[in-house]
Amino acid sequence: MPIKPPVRAQAPLATPAPPMPTGAPPTPPAAASALAEMALRLPVPDRALHDRLIVIGASTGGTEALRAVLASLPAQMPPILVVQHMPEMFTASFAKRLDGLCALTVKEAAHAERARPGTVYIAPGHSHLLVRRVPGGFQCELSAADPVNRHRPSVDVLFHAAAREVGRQCLGVMLTGMGKDGALGMLAMREAGAYNICQDQQSCVVWGMPREATLNGAANEVASLGEIAGRLIATLRGS
């Protein structure tokens, strides 16, 4: 079955880009914002807390984008695994800072750690972060394998693992970032049945990674930074 285009088209690029296939009409921004705000006030079903997993990739501009998304989410969420391109001396303090700003618990991921609802796991700057399915849920795995796309941790590594281990129970988010890390992994996720959201050009600091994932067909929808938390909750409620 061919991959459908995202539900919102991006603004035209300054340089030529492959044409996007036509699909459902864009959601009006005002309506999307209203839906996002409504979704944030509604609880996530209990079954989704244990059956689903969220993975997020980010790079340039991602520290503030992650703060905006994670601080808008309630404490009752499925486990969230995050790769933010960042040197290893900063990831632990970054996780601690987010933990103080969010209703969710935020921590640096540890090897073989059970991924629990209500918790965000930040990839340490020295290792790839992967996910593995275990009885009753999911587990974080760390790897010191070679960099992928010149990055360790790499978004592609996490997203490919999510495609293999989680499949249709996964939600993927691609936030602002330079380059293309994660685009192929996000496409593998969509082909495995996951639902993916890419940040739009207008709200990105650098529309690189989300652009690549949008153009290759990996995105189910494109949303502004302020809409992403609401869209995650709405998608979980509809699952």
- 59 in active site: yes
85 in active site: yes
Helix (H, G, I), strand (E, B) or coil at 9: coil
Structure tokens at 124: 């340490």
Beta strands in 75-166 (DSSP E): 80-84, 105-108, 114-115, 119-122, 128-134, 137-143
Active-site residue, selected from the candidate residues 151, 156, 160, 181 = 181
Using the 8-state DSSP alphabet, how is residue 86 labeled?
Answer: -
Q: What angle do CA 5, 71, 168 make, to 5 degrees?
A: 35
Exposed, middle or buried by CB within 10 Å (0-12, 13-18, 19+), for 164?
middle
Three-class SS string for 159-218? Answer: HHHHHHHCHHHEEEEECCECCCCCHHHHHHHHHCCCEEEEECCCCCCCECHHHHHHHCCC
Cis peptide before 117 (omega within 30 of 0): no
Give the number of other CB atoms < 10 A from CB of residue 2.
Answer: 6
CB atoms within 10 A of CB 73: 22
Catalytic residue among 72, 85, 128, 156: 85
Write down the catalytic residue from 59, 154, 203, 224: 59
* Active-site amino acid positions: 59, 85, 181
